[in-house]
Chain A
Amino acid sequence: KAGVTQTPRYLIKTRGQQVTLSCSPISGHRSVSWYQQTPGQGLQFLFEYFSETQRNKGNFPGRFSGRQFSNSRSEMNVSTLELGDSALYLCASSSLLAGVPDTQYFGPGTRLTVL
């Protein structure tokens, strides 16, 4: 099976712009989670989508949003970019057994730099 893919791998934007990141989960996985990784902060949970519905949401401002399509592919959007949004954005997919959190499989990440 192909792994989790994320596009683009690298992105440079300026403050005030918006950006859309894409994630394709492992075939058959219906749960997709997004994380922001910065040095010293570890991984901060953004949100999780399952069957096109946002099931969990982390403590991030409304500028961060996402969606999931019927084929389980997911996009994350950040509007009005700030310098502090520079980070590695990771996507992870899992098969989610009923009531049992399955292993999360991570993509390579998108490195976002905001100038």
Chain B
Amino acid sequence: AQTVTQSQPEMSVQEAETVTLSCTYDTSESDYYLFWYKQPPSRQMILVIRQEAYKQQNATENRFSVNFQKAAKSFSLKISDSQLGDAAMYFCAFSNTGNQFYFGTGTSLTVIP
């Protein structure tokens, strides 16, 4: 069975600073995909970034980047130059090729002005 663990229920960061959210997963599959989703307060969940397990290069989307360590089964999200609009619940997710998604319990990020 696949499991996704986010060990930081809450995190905070000063505006303009950098923060890293942790995620580990457990799977016996070799082909899979990893995602970070963002859920702002009372708003819809949206995709932040995705990573294919077969790619060694870490994915980057503007101020968001990941540190994907396949052997360690670790997939952390780094947010640079944090902005007030980054405040949200962040979910790490795993998907196998069968399109079944597994989500972590989330990390609530607070951005301090």
Contacts and interface: CB of A to CB of B under 8 A. Distances in A.
Interface stretch (A11-19, A36-44, A69-77, A79-87): A36-44
B47 interface: yes
A50 B100 CA distance: 12
B44 A43 contact: no
Interface residues of B, number: 22
B94 to A, nearest CB: 10
B88 to A, nearest CB: 13
B102 A101 contact: no
Contacts of A35: 103
A43 B99 contact: no
Contacts of B91: 42-43
B47 A103 contact: yes
Contacts of B37: 106
A2 interface: no
B25 interface: no
A42 B35 contact: no
Interface string A14-48: 00000000000000000101010000111101001
Contacts of B97: 99-101
A94 interface: yes
A91 to B, nearest CB: 11
Nearest to A56: B100
Contacts of B47: 103-105
Given A55-B98, A101-B95, 20 more contacts: A3-B44, A33-B101, A35-B103, A42-B103, A42-B106, A43-B91, A45-B102, A45-B103, A48-B99, A56-B99, A92-B45, A101-B98, A102-B99, A103-B47, A103-B50, A104-B101, A106-B44, A106-B46, A107-B44, A109-B44
Rank and list the top 3 A-B pairs by shortest CB-CB distance, nearest first: A42-B105, A101-B95, A106-B45
Interface of A: 3, 31, 33, 35, 40-43, 45, 48, 50, 55-56, 90, 92, 94, 96, 99-109
